[in-house]
Structure 1
Amino acid sequence: MQCLPIRLRPGDDLRPAIEAAVAAHGGAGAFVLAGIGSLDGASLRLAGAEQLLRLDGDLEILTLAGSVSADGSHLHMSVADAQGRVWGGHVTPGCIVRTTAELLLALLPPGQLGRAFDPATGYTELVVRPPG
């Protein structure tokens, strides 16, 4: 495992930018260990919800964590607005960096992480393969 600190810039779309950073560093899989920063709006999918929650305006990223693989990503985030209200959920495209996003990624060897449909949950879930 290799740790990689990165900074995303204003205007970057958080989820695709994280996926691109992992791909650019030769990693086919990674975990987002931590993330902080600010957003100019966010789109989150709440637990069990079909519709996305769209939050407009300035937001602070309080937490950001998840997994990234060539088969897809699973990222969770909590954000707060200027009044201190907090929302959290699945990160979807449309979370635009306002000033910065600072992340720590743990890059894993190619082929170690993947995603596959799990009939027990009905979702595409993480598959962890032994290194090698």
Structure 2
Amino acid sequence: MACGPSSLSIHALRLSPGQEILSSLLRVVDEKRLKAPFILTCVGSVTKATLRLANATAGNTNEVIHLQGRFEIVSLVGTLNKEAHLHICLADKEGKTVGGHVLGDLEVFTTAEVVLGEAENLQFNREMDPHTGFPELMVAFRPEES
């Protein structure tokens, strides 16, 4: 459950060809010591992606696809903490889309322009949820530092 209102700070970056998006974003979160980061927007393209599909469960995590080719990032959303939870939608050369839970291997083709937000008065953590079998988001209130 969310706790109280929060101020927002913005962090923007551009990733270059060959960089891996997920690990690059987690590095920024770590370097800037962001406590409640999330993706506001992302545009760009990738040549690879590894995604977990919607049919996956804690007992059946084999619902994974490995994509190779040139794909436009149509959408990238989610929260970024030590166990990031990102979903992506990619469009191929014919405009057909595929999406899923990001596992990694998001290798930048031409660029990835990412704008991160941070809820300054919140803390994002993940705890195992016995109902879903996955680590789920836990939101805590952080009073403003004086």
* TM-score with structure 1 setting the length: 0.92
* C-alpha deviation, 1:100, in angstroms: 0.5
Instruction: Name segments (4+ residues, structure 1) moved above 4 Å.
Output: none
The corresponding residue for 2:3 is: none
SS in 2 for 1:96: strand
Contact 1:22/1:29 (8 A) holds in 2: no
SS in 1 for 2:26: helix
SS in 1 for 2:84: strand
Larger C-alpha radius of gyration, 1 or 2? Answer: 2
* C-alpha deviation, 1:29, in angstroms: 3.0
Contact 1:3/1:105 (8 A) holds in 2: yes
* C-alpha deviation, 1:110, in angstroms: 8.2
* C-alpha deviation, 1:105, in angstroms: 0.5
The corresponding residue for 1:62 is: 74
* Aligned residue pairs, count: 131
Residue 24 of structure 1, aligned match among 26, 31, 36: 31
One-letter amino acid matched to 2:19: D
Structure 2 alignment gaps of length 5 or more:
1-7, 57-61
* TM-score with structure 2 setting the length: 0.83
Report 1:65-104 matches (<5 A).
65-70=77-82, 72-104=83-115
CA distance in 2, matches of 1:102, 1:29: 20
The corresponding residue for 2:20 is: 13
* C-alpha deviation, 1:8, in angstroms: 1.0
* C-alpha deviation, 1:51, in angstroms: 3.3
Contact 2:47/2:68 (8 A) holds in 1: yes
* C-alpha deviation, 1:94, in angstroms: 0.8
**Cα RMSD (Å):** 1.5
Q: Does 1:127 align with 2:138?
A: yes
* C-alpha deviation, 1:45, in angstroms: 0.8
Contact 2:87/2:99 (8 A) holds in 1: yes
Structure 1 alignment gaps of length 5 or more:
none
* C-alpha deviation, 1:34, in angstroms: 1.2
